[in-house]
Amino acid sequence: MSNQVTIPFGTITITDTAKRLINECLETKRISCGRLVREFEDRFAGLLGVKEAVAVSSGTDADILALAVLHDFGAQRGDEVIVPALSFVATGNAVVHAGFTPVFVDIERETLNIDPARIEAAITSKTRAIMPVHLMGKPAEMDTINAIAKKHGLVVVEDAAEAHGALYKGKPAGSLGDLAAFSTYVAHIITTGEGGIITTNNEQYGDILRSLRSHGRNCTCKHCILNSGADYCAKRFKGVGGEDIRFTFDRIGYSCKMNELEAAIGIGAMEVYEDILKKRHDNLMHVLNRFDRFAPWLSTIKEEAHEQIGPHAIPIIINEGAPFTRAELTLHLEKNGIETRTLFVSMPTQCPGFEYLGYKLGQFPHAEYLGHHGLHIGVHQDVGIEEMEYVLAIIGSFIDSK
């Protein structure tokens, strides 16, 4: 293969079904959150085997609303949520926007995920939840995390933004905690272009989530999502004096509904989900199973016997003592048509926005190391084994030159 090969980080598959549904929406002029959003939610819930799925406008909003549910059960603004120090910044931002204080815990280098052995030391009387992140689609150690949460009476909210298709001991990510938040952004396996979705087996949580995404309104049943205009619903008029309860508000809410055009793309993506998942997983494992050739200078994650990694991307870590920098490797990959992303940063100590919390550089050595020495590249459905071989060859040529 020539150096003219290009491997963009992500892609989007827009099916004929999606295009047909989008055109129908445009013809009928019904594009706000309605029947297609409801259908997308039902399909997503069925895929994971959960009772409730509530679609919103982004994965960040999914995180925010999943946490905001806690206010209905006694949580106070300023209470604490434990999160890994390493994640896309949306994880930490969401905790703040939900009205809580993030308490950061370092990660394990080998898994990229929160170190379960460090969680209990971070729990205080103000802790209300633990939000593990399945980073790069590799499941966090959920049995241990759930046991800690149960012991201390905490809620577990999975940040499953990158974990479409991930399995942990036979169960899908998104069904392992009390609630879970997915992103359906363009780079993900199930995509709506922009969007997110929250899953739970708690029907009361589902009602609260439907209220939260629509300004905190009283009307929370699944019917009114249909926005069918003249379609009469007796439940709506049970307010004082027969008032429409869609315009009474029980809680501080948000405005973050998914729209019909996005849901149409998602419904199409669900039709080809298994094919996309298999291709991406095959791509990922082709590289991970051959990555030892780059030791000791480079490393990546491994798929353990108890799990299936959700094939979001290929993480690459430049190890101590390597005779090159991340910037040098990134430049080599980019010059050869392989698009890269950094492997995020330590939110509490490498993101200025969190300086107000008072953490100091050095408190999260593993997260901070990856903040300087990690990157990731795509494994999406528009590339295949030939392109993965190209990636390995380009990395190999770089290593050989050092």
Active site residues: 188
Distance, in Å, from the CA atom of 63 to the CA atom of 287, rounded to the nearest integer, reads 31
Sequence-distant (6+) residues with CB within 8 A of 275 are 381
Report in angstroms the alpha-carbon separations of 189 from 65, 192, 241, 321.
22, 10, 48, 35
List b or e across 109-143, with b for residues whose CB sees 16 or more CB atoms inside 10 angstroms: bebbbbbbebbeebbeeebbbbbbbbbbbbbbbbe
Four-residue CA torsion sign, 188, 192, 195, 198: negative
3-class secondary-structure state, position 184: coil
Distance, in Å, from the CA atom of 59 to the CA atom of 65, rounded to the nearest integer, reads 10
Report in angstroms the alpha-carbon separations of 285 from 33, 290, 379.
38, 8, 10
DSSP 8-state assignment for residue 317: E
Distance, in Å, from the CA atom of 92 to the CA atom of 355, rounded to the nearest integer, reads 12
Nearest to 163 by CA among 144, 145, 147, 142: 142
Beta bridge partners of 200: 52, 179
The two three-digit tokens of residue 263, written as one number: 């849901």
Q: Give phi and psi for 264, each to the nearest 5.
A: -60, -45
Beta bridge partners of 342: 375
Q: Name residue, tokens 């029947």.
A: 35
